[in-house]
Structures are given as structure tokens and as C-alpha cells.
Amino acid sequence: MHQLVTIDMEKDLLEANRRLANENHRLLKARGIRSVDLMGSIGSGKTLLIERISMLLKDRGHRPGVITGDVAGDDDHKRVSALGIPAVNVNTGKECHIDAHLAEHAIEDMDLGSIDVLLIENVGNLVCPADFPLGTDKRAVVISVTEGDDMIRKHPVIFREADVIVINKSDLAGVMEVDLDVLKRDANTVRPNSRVIVTDAKHGVGIEELMEALGLI
């Protein structure tokens, strides 16, 4: 009985999330704003990728805005704001992902008239965000070579949700003794025909290719 109630509630929850995600998407489209949900593991370099993408977008005359999601703190929000990019911080407390409802409030707090691209940095986690689309045009998952070459096959669900799979910190593949081909092969097994982009955010490598894959340029 307990089990049944749990399953029903989970179904309700996911259905409610999907409804809210659709509303978020309609709102962003109506304002002509393209959007990306950047999921990925802790310390995989999501914030630096967002900083790089935002600066390149600005160079091209676009107006990026960022929602930074974390369990606690405002480290990422401070980093993005310091670049002069409109940013809204979301703290999820004990939740391990942003959901469409939290995203909706963050979008309300964003000055939508001042942006044409919205980048959402989800909480660092390769499990929880998978089930909770936020209403963005694209979803991407970022991993880092520093996590080893078994990350994709250990977390198939979230990679099946990803329009784009990003393998970051490629400059460290040698020192970490990680085989990029294993990660690429696993990506293609879990999500055939996915776009797999190798980046080195620290040195600005692969960023434009990633922006193109995300439909931002």
C-alpha cells in the first residue's frame, strides 16, 4: 500500500513537472529566448563552460542570462555576475536537482527583456535532474575526464535525456590516463546519434562547437 501511494505520488509529481516545464518553454519562446539546461556531475566545469559560452555570446551581440542552481551557497552566481551577466541564484536545500517549479520562479526573477539566451546550470548530480525537464530547448550533460572513463555507463538514465553530451577537461585526459574513445563509445551506446562534444573550458577549446550543438549560434 505504502509502495503504491509512493508510485502514484511520483507519477503526479513528474506529470506536474512536465506541465510546468511546458509552461516555462511557452513563456521563453514567446519572448524569443533560446534556452539550455546544463546538467552534469559535481566539479565537471559547468560554471566555467557557462562563463565561456556567455562571453562568446556577448561578443556576437547576444544577451545571455544565467540561472545558477546549487544545493547551497552562491559561489557560481557570484562568478557569473562578476562578468556582468544577468544571473539568478537558486538554492535547492535538500533537493538534488532543480525542478520546473523552481525554474519558473527563477525565470520570474530574471529580467527577460534584457536577455535572448537563458543558460540554466543544474545542481551537480548525474541522477536526479534526469526526470525533471525544466522547459528548455535543449538539455546537455557535462562530465569531466577527471571522473574516470566509466561515468557514462554508470549513469545511463541522464545521458538518455541529453541532446548533447559534453566531455570536459580534455587537457587532463593524459595525466588522468582516461581514454576519450571509451567515453565516446559509451555515449553512443547509451544514446545513439547523440552529439558528443569534447571541451577544455579552461583553455577555451571546443566552446564554439558546443554552442553550435546547443543551437546557440
Q: Which residues bind a copy of itself (CB under 8 A)?
A: 2, 5-6, 9, 12, 41-43, 70-73, 75, 94-96, 123-128, 131, 144, 146-148, 150-151, 153-157, 169, 172, 175
Cα 4 to Cα 7, 9, 64, 68, distances in angstroms: 5, 9, 44, 35
Give min distance, CB of 197 to a copy of itself, in A: 19
For a copy of itself, give the closer residue by CB, 29 or 105: 105
Give min distance, CB of 88 to a copy of itself, in A: 17
Give min distance, CB of 70 to a copy of itself, in A: 5
For a copy of itself, give the closer residue by CB, 56 or 151: 151
Give min distance, CB of 125 to a copy of itself, in A: 6
Cα 114 to Cα 105, 111, 122, 167, distances in angstroms: 17, 6, 22, 31
For a copy of itself, give the closer residue by CB, 201 or 216: 201
Contact criterion met (CB below 8 Å) for 40 and 143: yes
Ordered strands of the 164-168 beta sheet: 87-91, 64-70, 117-121, 34-40, 138-144, 164-168, 195-198
The x, y and z cell numbers of residue 17, run together, are 513537472
Phi/psi of residue 37, nearest 5 degrees: -105, 110
